[in-house]
Each structure stands twice: as structure tokens, then as C-alpha cells.
Amino acid sequence: MAARISSFLSRSSSSSFALLSRGTNSSLRRGILRYGTAASVEEPIKPSVNVEYNQLLIDGKFVDAASGKTFPTLDPRTGETIAHVSEGDAEDINRAVIAARKAFDEGPWPKMTAYERQRILLRCADLVEKHNDEIAALETWDSGKPFEQCAQIEVPMFVRLFRYYAGWADKIHGLTVPADGPYHVQTLHEPIGVAGQIIPWNFPLVMFAWKVGPALACGNSIVMKTAEQTPLSALYVSKLFLEAGLPPGVLNVVSGFGPTAGAALASHMDVDKIAFTGSTATGKVILELSARSNLKDVTLELGGKSPFIVCEDADVDKAVELAHFALFFNQGQCCCAGSRTFVHERVYDEFVEKAKARALKRAVGDPFKSGIEQGPQIDSDQFKKILKYINSGVESGATLQAGGDRLGSKGFYIQPTVFSDVKDDMLIAQDEIFGPVQSILKYKSTDEVIKRANNSQYGLAAGVFTQNLDNANRLMRALRVGTVWINCFDTFDAAIPFGGYKMSGIGREKGEYSLKNYLQVKAVVTALDNPAWL
């Protein structure tokens, strides 16, 4: 997958990417560069898929919400409704938990051999791979992500994750432990039971795979609550899982809102574990709901304000391209976005000029169009929040180098925006903006940049760009973050663990580490009659 991302990265940086969204007529008003209206974002391209699944998946069947309620899921290109989706709430979550419990306690899933579970997971992966382009189109329609990104990176990454965890299914085993006495001691690694999972809208499919893959490989059953902005791809994929032979009730999918369906799942007394990805504020709520209910085990993957450090020896052109990708990928809607670009003073001015030029070249437009690097933001709340941060950057005295406003008059497109002269105490250098807004900060020494990079409530990831081995070694150890990417960024293979230090989360997902989230350890101690057997 790393290879796929870098090939996407090099393609997206090639000059063959058409410049679809930038008007010629930019003017400075209140320090804000305004772009001309772009035809490419005004006329949405019709997607090549239909919405086939819009109900809840409970106990192997697609059903309406108990209340009969539905909610619209919107197309971020226009803000118009794509489809009405059943809106689950506490009652539906309860129905789903009952089905998951039954599948766990009585059903075949945890009882079948690991090899049989592995074969079903592999069939799930095969079917998703077979429907790659339909799934990618649904994801683009619902989320505004570039179709090429969905089709070439995200759906294949889903498949890779499922194959990776299918591989683990029959390699999970305990230990034999030497004890100080006449005992035979062994550990059994058992599934936790019913896993509740709550995912966000920025990577609907990938987050689904990160959570569902290891939970199923370990033999758990699941109640998944998808994000209200992006319910469609999970329903489509779950239908394929039934076709692949996943028994009813093993995976239940409830679309709905956070304070209703999400909170009901996190506080349910018969859910054994909750895995959450989203904002730090909601992560705190989840932990509290667990504490107030049954102390279910909690893993959290939360926000970030990740530093991207360009050392003085860096090849500036390469650093600019990577820093651009680190921030702008996925419309800037990444928990690990490199959103504090620290640049050494010796290369700062050159870097800023080139970062500005790169942002002005970014291909923004209808995400279904080939060559598009950036689509619209997810919804009107995020759109307004990002524009407010841009305003705050201007007002706090940062220099606006590029962008600064919406693009077009329809939907949630925002111009790729670059600020230089950003200071650590500005809001744009502290908060998670979650949008296409790059903040470039200047530094003088490695000691200084380590202190400033670590001076954040978050600790999710960091990028380091250098040719100097000592610098790389020093920074990788000093940065208090869950992932350090050196001369790369957003490299996300299934085998690489991911998670946060500090307020960026609790626990690790992906890789072997994620199995720990879905297993518990039982110690079995057997007295030995004849100590000679020791």
C-alpha cells in the first residue's frame, strides 16, 4: 500500500494534472486572494452507481429503524440529498447488540475453526476487490473524496487490511508459562465478545476495515455505528460480507447520529468493548460513557496537530511536495495531517515561495473528474469552521500566501490555503483545522524545534525531512508521537501500528498490535500431582 500511495503522490504532483479550478482573476481583498468562479465545480458529474442499501443491517437482514425515521445523506459537491437512510437510535442499537450477543454466545462465529473464519474473511476481501469501482464511486459521492484516491488507494487498502487480518486468524495463540511451583500454567487468548465500533466520515471505508478486520479475525461479533455524513459504503460492503458467508448477527451496521445511536452503543451494558475514531472531545465522552455504564474496554484514535519538520539540509523541492501532500491530502481532513510545517530558517523563504506555487497549482474540482487532487469538504459545518480558522489566521497577523476563501458558489469547496509567518500561539497553529490550510513556521535549531513540536496537547504523528542521519535519529526519538515518518508521510500499510500519544488517543490500531484490542487473556492454572513433571 505504501507503494500505491507514493505512486499516487508522484502522479498527483505531475504537471499532467489539469488545473481545473483556478481562475485567472485573483484579487487582494482584506488580505484574501480571491479565485475566479470555476465551471468545474458548478456542474456535478453524475456518479455511475445507485444507492442500493439504505437500511440498518441487523441480524443478517436489512431493516428499517424501529422508529421508522430516516435522515438524508448529502453530496458534498452540492449539499443536495443523495438518499434517505434509516436513522438508528437507542432501540436499534439494542436490537443490534442482542443479535451480536446471540451470534457470539450461540452462533457459529467464535466456535468455528480459525481456518474457517480466515476463509470467510478472505472471501470478503475478494468480493470487495471485485466491486472496487462501485464501492469507490459510492464513497466519492457520499464523502467528496477524489474517485481516483478511493479506487486506487482506499478500496485496495481495505482489501489489503482484510487479507492481512485473515492471515492472523489462525495464528492467534497463548503461551505456556513456567511457574514457581507444581503447576501447569497456560494462557488462552479469547475474543472479548461484542465489540462496539464508532467511526468518522473522513475515511469511512478505511476506518471500517481497521476496526472490523481485527475484531472478526479474533472471533468477536460487532455493532458498527457509521458516521452520519457517510453511511453508504459500509452498507454496501456489509452486503458483500453476507454473500461471502459471514453468519447473521456477526456484523451489524447501524447508521445514525452520535448523541443518539453512538451514545447508546458506548453506554450499552452488554457491549464488551468500544473502539472509537473521531474528535478528542467526543473521545472523552466515550470514555465517560464507558465508566458510567459497564467499564467496557475503550480504544480511542483522536485528533492531532502533527509537525512536519523540514531540516536545513533538505532538498527543498522534494520537501515542498511532501509537506503539501502531508497537509492537503484528503482535503486536509486527516487526523494525522502535517498541519504545522516547521521549516529551518536557512531554507524558509525559498520553501514558502514554492509551497505557495504548489498550492496555487493544486487541482481542485469535481472529485469524479480524472486528475482532481482535491474535492469539497465533507459538510457545511466543517466548511464554515475552516473558513473561520482562515479568518482567524488573517486577523492574528499570519501572512496569507494563497487561497483564503471558498471556491465556486455551490457545495463545500475551499481554496488550497497557505499561511507563512505563523507563530506558535496562533489558533491556526494550535487547533485541528481539518481542512486545506497549511501553516508554515520558522525555526532556528533542532533543540528549539523539538520543544516547539512537542508543545501540543496532541501526539499523533510527525514528519521529518532530512538527509542527515543524526538529525533523523535525534528527532525520531525526541518527538512524543505515535508515528514518525522520515522522508515520507501518510505511509499506512496494514502491518504498521497507528495511534496517539497524549490526547491523540489510547491504544494502537493496525498490525499485530490491534489484535490486543479484541482479545482477552485467560490464565489457566492446573495443579500437577507429580512435581517430577516440572
458 touches ligand NAI (CB under 6 A)? no
CB 61, min distance to ligand NAI, A: 23
Site residues for Mg ion, window 207-226 (CB under 5 A)? none
**In this complex, which beta carbon is closest to Mg ion, that of residue 92 or of residue 142?**
142
428 touches ligand NAI (CB under 6 A)? no
258 touches ligand NAI (CB under 6 A)? yes
Q: Among all chains, which residue has been given the C-alpha cell 488573517? A: 394
- What are the grid coordinates assigned to 345, written together? 530558517
Neighbours of 516 (CB within 10 A): 15
CB 70, min distance to Mg ion, A: 14
Find out whether 366 and 77 touch, Cβ atoms under 8 Å.
Answer: yes
**In this complex, which beta carbon is closest to Mg ion, that of residue 74 or of residue 461?**
74
Q: Which residues of 429-463 are buried (b: 16+ CB within 10 A; e: fewer)?
A: bbebbbbbbbbbbbbeebeebbebbbebebbbbbb
51 touches ligand NAI (CB under 6 A)? no
Is 122 in a helix, a strand, or coil?
A: helix
CB 198, min distance to ligand NAI, A: 5
Q: In what order do the strands lie in the sheet with 417-420?
A: 399-402, 417-420, 437-443, 340-344, 307-310, 461-465, 483-486
The interface region with ligand NAI, picked from 14-22, 70-78, 102-110, 193-201 by CB under 6 A, is 193-201
- Please pick, from the candidates 12, 21, 40, 73, the single residue that binds Mg ion as defined by CB under 5 A: 73
- Please pick, from the candidates 282, 339, 374, 420, the single residue that binds ligand NAI as defined by CB under 6 A: 282
CB 108, min distance to Mg ion, A: 35
- Please pick, from the candidates 142, 154, 321, 490, the single residue that binds Mg ion as defined by CB under 5 A: 142
The interface region with ligand NAI, picked from 7-15, 79-87, 196-204, 517-525 by CB under 6 A, is 196-204
Instruction: List 32's β-bridge partners, or say none.
Output: 29
- Please pick, from the candidates 76, 107, 200, 411, the single residue that binds ligand NAI as defined by CB under 6 A: 200
Find out whether 284 and 263 touch, Cβ atoms under 8 Å.
Answer: no
CB 108, min distance to ligand NAI, A: 30
Question: Out of ligand NAI, Mg ion, none, which partner does residue 73 contact, by CB within 5 to 8 A per kind?
Answer: Mg ion
The interface region with Mg ion, picked from 68-76, 160-168, 180-188, 219-227 by CB under 5 A, is 68-76
**In this complex, which beta carbon is closest to ligand NAI, that of residue 193 or of residue 435?**
435
- What are the grid coordinates assigned to 391, written together? 479568518
CB 144, min distance to Mg ion, A: 8
CB 201, min distance to Mg ion, A: 7
CB 365, min distance to ligand NAI, A: 23
The interface region with ligand NAI, picked from 75-83, 170-178, 280-288, 442-450 by CB under 6 A, is 280-288
Question: Out of ligand NAI, Mg ion, none, which partner does residue 432 contact, by CB within 5 to 8 A per kind?
Answer: ligand NAI
Site residues for ligand NAI, window 201-240 (CB under 6 A)? 201-202, 225, 227-228
Nearest to 237 by CA among 177, 311, 320, 150: 150
CB 438, min distance to ligand NAI, A: 16
Site residues for ligand NAI, window 388-427 (CB under 6 A)? none
CB 138, min distance to ligand NAI, A: 18
> Which H or E element spans position 72?
strand 70-75
Q: Which residue type does 105 have?
A: D
Torsion of CA 173, 179, 185, 187, to 10 degrees: -30
CA–CA separation, 425 and 173 (whole Å): 49
Torsion of CA 249, 250, 253, 257, to 10 degrees: 100
Tell me if residue 334 is catalytic. Answer: no
**In this complex, which beta carbon is closest to ligand NAI, that of residue 273 or of residue 356?**
273
CA–CA separation, 308 and 402 (whole Å): 19
Nearest to 375 by CA among 46, 40, 72: 40
Q: Which residue type does 382 have?
A: Q
How many residues belong to the site for Mg ion (CB under 5 A)?
4
- What are the grid coordinates assigned to 417, written together? 490555503
CA–CA separation, 308 and 289 (whole Å): 35
266 touches ligand NAI (CB under 6 A)? yes
Phi, psi of 28 (to 5 degrees): -95, 115
**In this complex, which beta carbon is closest to Mg ion, that of residue 229 or of residue 377?**
229
- List 87, 134, 148, 301, catalytic entry: 301
- Please pick, from the candidates 196, 249, 278, 436, the single residue that binds ligand NAI as defined by CB under 6 A: 278
The interface region with Mg ion, picked from 102-110, 178-186, 229-237, 262-270 by CB under 5 A, is 229-237
Alpha helices in 131-231 (DSSP H): 132-143, 147-149, 155-169, 204-217
Instruction: List 297's β-bridge partners, or say none.
Output: 273
Find out whether 472 and 446 touch, Cβ atoms under 8 Å.
Answer: no
- List 124, 311, 334, 335, catalytic entry: 335
* Cα 259 to Cα 265, 266, 286, 292, distances in angstroms: 10, 10, 10, 15
Share in percent of the chain as helix, strand, coil (round to 5): 40, 20, 40
Tell me if residue 190 is catalytic. Answer: no
Is 30 in a helix, a strand, or coil?
A: coil
Question: Out of ligand NAI, Mg ion, none, which partner does residue 142 contact, by CB within 5 to 8 A per kind?
Answer: Mg ion
Torsion of CA 444, 445, 450, 451, to 10 degrees: -70
Which residues are part of the catalytic machinery? 301, 335
Can you give the binding site for ligand NAI, defined by CB under 6 A? 198-202, 225, 227-228, 257-259, 262-263, 266, 277-279, 282, 285-286, 302-303, 335, 382, 432, 434
* Residues of this chain that bind Mg ion (CB under 5 A): 73-74, 142, 229
